[in-house]
Amino acid sequence: MNPFKDYRDSYIINQRVKNKNIVAGDYSYYSGYYHGKEFDECVWYMDGTETVCPEKLIIGKFCSIATGVVFMMAGNQGHRHDWIAQYPLDFLDDDFDGYKNNPPKAFLSKGDTIIGNDVWIGAEAMIMPGIHIGDGAMIAARAVVTKNVEPYSIVAGVPAKPIKKRFSNQEIEILLKAKWWDWPVEKIKKNLAMLRSGNVQGLIPTIR
């Protein structure tokens, strides 16, 4: 089921994604209306092979990803700012096969990029390699995220910086314990009015 089939070409990511290194949770959707691209095309420098990109993009449940968002993958893409030559020079590697002093590879993995649950990512934001974005975070349009984002934080700018937290620290603790995104759909329906309010304290009876 795609609850967004009639809204600006939005669709559930895990119903359309083809790349095995992209993992998306239930109900997370992409709305690519203004860019006309499949979600796979928003994930750059990933072809699903370990030789080019060993990392994965892991997206939680109930995430909202706007048009034109880019997830930059493949670590440093083989460019080392701390070396004399930042050009990767990989085309010369074959000449050293079998030698003990084989030159080091330029590629450095940044690890998996992990997006939490109920995360909103605004239009044309760019998420750099290996970033972890916490549950409930909001990423402003055209932000360039170069550092991890705390749960329920709002970040904006280039590079993205924290603007504020959506709730108090005590409320965020309750939200992270409640994990509403893991509830069965029937339980979500039963508590829909509360989830569409700022009544975080009302979640306490739901925590087991």
Q: Is 79 a catalytic residue?
A: yes
In angstroms, the first-to-last Cα distance of the chain is 30
* Residue in the block written with tokens 């280039």: 158
Strand pairing of 22-24 and 57-59?
A: parallel
List the catalytic residue out of 35, 79, 81, 132.
Answer: 79
* 50 Cβ contact list (under 8 Å, min separation 6): none
CB environment 70-99: b (16+ within 10 A), e (fewer): bbbbbbbbbebeeeeeeebeeeeeeeeeee
Residues serving a catalytic function are: 79
